Structure 1
Amino acid sequence: MKYAIKDINLAKAGMTRIEWAKRDMPVLAGIASNFKKSKPFKNITIGACLHVTAETANLLK
């Protein structure tokens, strides 16, 4: 897959925010847990471009 990263140095800060959202947002954790069981996006390709929030990043995993 081709992709372009403008500033790879921001990756660590982004991962910190993603981990924070996973750890400190119980509703997000509940949605993610339900998605793991029901697999609503099975066999679907999801493209994300431009800005992806920490919350959305957790659901895309």
Structure 2
Amino acid sequence: MDLAPMVDADLDVMVRDAKIVRIDKPYVLVNCKTDQGIEDVARHILHDVLFDQPPKNLVSQVR
């Protein structure tokens, strides 16, 4: 979201397209300036993509 104005992206269009493409699957809008959505993405990567159980040293950073 923080890059959207720089590249003339329309967030409403991005959300609409995400709903179409993802159907019932989740999606997250991320804003690196405000940290919006970053924990959600990190949690998804740690728990659902990379590991059966996340490394103990990273758990406290994400929760």
TM-score (norm 1): 0.29
Q: Which has the larger radius of gyration?
A: 2
TM-score (norm 2): 0.29
